[in-house]
């Protein structure tokens, strides 16, 4: 019986080992397009989540943004003030007028030819000829010595050419060079121009520009500190979240990203609000300035921020927000890692 059972048992043939086929991908971690899409999604999520956190705390966010907007608008306001000051001085055309006193032997016809030749100069805007008779009449009118002048047998006053340079804001050296060229003319006996006002005007503009730059630097530093402090407080409130992210292997760049976008939004919104503040103030002042200008017979209009200056204002405020956030995050993340 046992023998028959042994005959019934058949041995299975040996199983041959088969190597599994492994399909190799082109690159570990996916292709470049997938990485780019994931990177884009991460930044979009950080961008809008940081904006949502600001909206979730409207009172605190608006307090911070309002303070920054006032600081930025002060710097922008002084910049516009300097620009309008330069425009105002440019309108004082007669201030840099040159007077050319011709020799006694120069006739009126010769003087007219000299006027035509001076007008060809590219640096000259206009030339006015004052004859001897006109000069004598003006002297009688404004000097108060009419009786003494009438006692003279001949007219002692020469022909005068009043030359107005093209640009009222030329440097003193350029004006002196132009005056020197006129002085070298054989028909000119004496060339006169009061260059002292040029020094005073340039000193005032330089001082105003320096003050505006220093104020902008000071207020820009204040913006950095305010944004940095706001981001530091948010980082402190989310400390547990940051610690857990570090424990599961999150990189510093991943942790920094939403806070950097928070600084960006704070700076961006502050820049836009500062532009509205400056524009509103300029609109309020514009009517009064135009009315004052009309009283003095002028047509002065306030300059506003143009498109390029507006973009630069918003870009710089956004950049200050990012820099302030980054500076705080570098220190705080190192401190968190050490603790």
Q: What is the mean pLDDT of residues 154-169?
A: 77
In a domain, 29, yes or no: no
Which pLDDT tens digit goes with each residue over 238-283?
888 877 877 887 777 788 888 899 999 999 999 999 999 999 999 9
Cα separation of 28 and 34, whole Å?
12
Q: 68 and 207 share a domain? A: yes
Q: What is the CATH number of the domain that holds 128?
A: 3.30.70.3040
Q: 239 and 307 share a domain? A: yes
pTM equals 0.67
Which pLDDT tens digit goes with each residue over 23-53?
444 444 557 787 788 878 888 888 888 888 8
- Phi and psi at residue 286, in whole multiples of 5°? -60, -45
Q: 234 and 313 share a domain? A: yes
CA 191 vs. chain centroid, Å, equals 41
Query: Tokens 């009438």 — which residue?
Result: 150
Q: 276 and 230 share a domain? A: yes
Which pLDDT tens digit goes with each residue over 57-92?
899 899 999 999 999 999 999 999 888 887 776 655
Which pLDDT tens digit goes with each residue over 178-203?
888 888 888 888 888 866 776 777 78
Q: Tally Cβ neighbours within 10 Å of residue 72.
A: 29
In a domain, 35, yes or no: no
Cα separation of 166 and 90, whole Å?
10
pLDDT beyond 70 at 288: yes
pLDDT beyond 60 at 313: yes
Q: 253 and 227 share a domain? A: yes
Q: 110 and 75 share a domain? A: no
In a domain, 30, yes or no: no
Dihedral angle, C-alpha 219, 222, 223, 224, nearest 10 °: 130
- Phi and psi at residue 27, in whole multiples of 5°? -150, 140
Range of the structural domain that residue 152 is part of: 98-192
Paired tokens of 11 = 């041995």
Beta strand 98-102 with 124-130 is unpaired
**Overall number of domains in the chain:** 2
Q: 216 and 148 share a domain? A: no
In a domain, 286, yes or no: yes
Query: ∠ CA(128), CA(292), CA(141), 5° rounding?
Result: 40
Q: 264 and 233 share a domain? A: yes
Looking at residue 339, its pLDDT comes to 60
Q: 64 and 116 share a domain? A: no
Average pLDDT, the chain: 81
Among candidate residues 129, 160, 192, the one where a domain is terminated: 192
In a domain, 31, yes or no: no
Q: 204 and 288 share a domain? A: yes
């Amino acid at each position: 019986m046992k023998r028959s059972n042994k005959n019934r048992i058949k041995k299975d043939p040996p199983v041959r080992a088969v190597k599994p086929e492994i399909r190799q991908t082109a690159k570990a971690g996916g292709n470049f397009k997938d990485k780019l899409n994931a990177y884009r999604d991460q930044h979009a999520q950080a961008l809008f989540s940081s904006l949502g956190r600001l909206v979730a705390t409207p009172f605190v966010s608006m307090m911070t943004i309002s303070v920054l907007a006032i600081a930025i608008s002060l710097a922008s306001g002084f910049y516009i003030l300097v620009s309008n000051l330069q425009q105002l001085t440019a309108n004082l055309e007669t201030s840099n007028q040159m007077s050319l006193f011709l020799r006694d032997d120069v006739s009126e016809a010769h003087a007219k030819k000299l006027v035509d030749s001076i007008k060809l100069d590219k640096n000259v805007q206009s030339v006015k000829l004052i004859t001897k008779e006109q000069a004598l009449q003006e002297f009688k009118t404004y000097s108060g010595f009419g009786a003494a002048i009438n006692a003279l047998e001949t007219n002692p006053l020469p022909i005068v050419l009043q030359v107005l340079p093209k640009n009222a804001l030329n440097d003193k050296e350029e004006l002196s060079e132009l005056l020197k060229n006129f002085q070298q003319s054989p028909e000119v006996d004496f060339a006169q121009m009061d260059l002292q006002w040029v020094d005073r005007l340039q000193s005032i503009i330089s001082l105003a520009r320096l003050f505006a730059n220093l104020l902008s630097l000071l207020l820009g530093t204040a913006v950095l500190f305010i944004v940095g402090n706001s981001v530091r407080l948010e980082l402190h409130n989310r400390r547990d979240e940051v610690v857990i992210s570090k424990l599961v292997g999150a990189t510093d760049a991943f942790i920094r990203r939403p806070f950097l976008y928070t600084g960006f939004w704070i700076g961006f919104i502050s820049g836009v609000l500062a532009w509205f503040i400056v524009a509103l103030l300029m609109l309020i002042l514009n009517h009064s300035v135009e009315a004052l200008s009309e009283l003095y017979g002028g047509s002065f209009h306030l300059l506003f921020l143009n498109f390029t200056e507006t973009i630069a204002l918003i870009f710089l405020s956004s950049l200050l927000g990012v820099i302030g956030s980054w500076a705080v995050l570098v220190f705080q993340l190192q401190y968190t890692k050490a603790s």
